[in-house]
Structure 1
Amino acid sequence: MSKFSPLNWPVVRQLRAADAFARDVNTQTGKSRELEGRIDSADRMVKSVCPYCAVGCSQRVYVKDERVIQVEGDPDSPISRGRLCPKGSASEQLINSATRLTKIKYRAPYATEWTELDTDTAMEMITDRFLASRKAKWQEVDESGRPLRRTMGVAGLGGATLDNEENYLIKKLFTATGAIQVENQARI
């Protein structure tokens, strides 16, 4: 049969083979027979949780050569049953983005350039500023002498990319340090 013969068209092959729903090999082309799934070449699959909101949708993360190649919903999850929202489906782009920052950046007051900091230096700066602000605005008692033991110099804002457990721990941390202004992005 000639390559361009009408008998070689997929729809004709489908009808001749009584394949009414086009699910047989008669509708495949040579190119489509050679295609492979994105996850076929993965070295391993790692189960994870979507980083975007507190729902906790389960993900299957496929890794090849220590690089994430695909992220899909986990059908074994009782929460998401294999489904992901558009942001969760795009998690692979979050991980592999060329614009993703992997180092701590700091811009000093009035500076025009960002500088890189090591983790220890950044943590020391944050701790020093947190404690100084807490101390500067500390309120031990009110005008009537009633105990307050709080600070108005520190506030906390949790994000929707944190899970419930992380938000719980942040709330406990800020409350323990005397902060009373603790909010979450989901309530704003």
Structure 2
Amino acid sequence: MNVNRRQFFRICAGGMAGTTVAALGFTPGAALAETRNYKLLRAKEVRNTCTYCSVGCGLLMYSLGDGSKNARASIFHIEGDPDHPVSRGALCPKGAGLLDYVHSENRLRYPEYRAPGSDKWQRISWDEALNRIARLMKDDRDANFVETNAQGVTVNRWLSTGMLCASAASNETGMLTQKFARSLGMLAVDNQARV
């Protein structure tokens, strides 16, 4: 570029005027094309398994809570886990809609009991529910337990009650569930995957 003396002074004067105006606070505003903040930036990530079917897809759940009692309200994003060997980050429509299930007003959050002949459900505590289930199982087992068959061979069977196990549980949980059911004498043990 070939600049003479007069053009050089004009360029310098224009640059000084521009920097003086900027120094006085007359600068342009922030550009509108800036990047958004990442919504999961401060979130706590928890890995879980989808509860809908027997496939056992992996989930990543994000919350801003500290794990307190109101943690349900703080879950704000659920997505598939790309590192999970079963689903590799993919979710079916039910799994993709888990966030709506978590925040649903119709979601059952505590045990309820409906007395025989009643048309109303009443809320009971977890201790009451577990004690009632244990008592009913014990009474049924005592009434229907078969120690020996017709030939006099010891069989120790409880044929009037069965157990439905979770299919998304680990192998260790499945083994313990199987041992529990068989130790009571149950023969009807099935898995959610077949239902």
Name the TM-score, length of structure 1 as normaliser. 0.71
Which residue pairs with 1:12 in the alignment? none
Change (3 A) 1:42 1:128: same
Q: In the alignment, which residue of structure 1 is the partner of 2:169? A: 163
Contact 1:157–1:182, Cα closer than 8 Å, also in 2: yes
CA distance in 2, matches of 1:37, 1:81: 26
Query: What displacement does 1:43 show?
Result: 2.7
Separation in 2, partners of 1:90, 1:34: 31
Segments of 4+ moved more than 4 angstroms: 33-38
User: Are residues 52 and 39 of structure 1, via their aligned partners in 2, closer, same or farther at CA, if it must alter by over 3 Å?
Assistant: farther
Secondary structure, counterpart of 1:144 in structure 2: coil
Alpha-carbon distance, 1:45 to partner:
2.1
* Closer/same/farther in 2, CA of residues 38 and 138 from structure 1, 3 Å limit: farther
CA deviations over 1:92-113 (Å, ceiling 9, x no partner):
1221111111111000111121
Alpha-carbon distance in structure 1 between the residues aligned to 2:130 and 2:104: 26
Cα distance between partner residues in 2 of 1:38 and 1:100? 30
Among candidates 112, 125, 138, match of residue 105 of structure 1: 112
Alpha-carbon distance between aligned partners in 2 of 1:156 and 1:38, rounded to the nearest angstrom: 45
Aligned twin of 1:179: 186
Answer with 165-174 or 43-52: which moved more.
165-174
Aligned to 1:51: 51
Percent identical across equivalent pairs? 31
Say yes or no: does 1:148 pair with 2:155.
yes
Does the alignment pair 1:91 with 2:98? yes
1:49, 1:35 → 2: CA distance? 33
Q: Secondary structure at the match of 2:95?
A: helix
CA contact (8 A) 1:156 1:181 kept: yes
Number of paired residues? 156
Task: State how far apart, in whole Å, the 2-side matches of 1:82 and 1:183 are.
Answer: 28
Question: For structure 1, which runs of at least 5 residues remain unmatched after alignment?
Answer: 1-29
Residue deviations 1:23-47 (CA, integer Å, cap 9, x gap): xxxxxxx7xx689588346532222
Partner SS, residue 163 of structure 1: coil
Q: Distance in 2 between matches of 1:49 and 1:39?
A: 22
Residue 64 of structure 1 deviates from its aligned partner by: 3.0
Greater Rg by CA: 2
Return the TM-score normalized by structure 2: 0.69
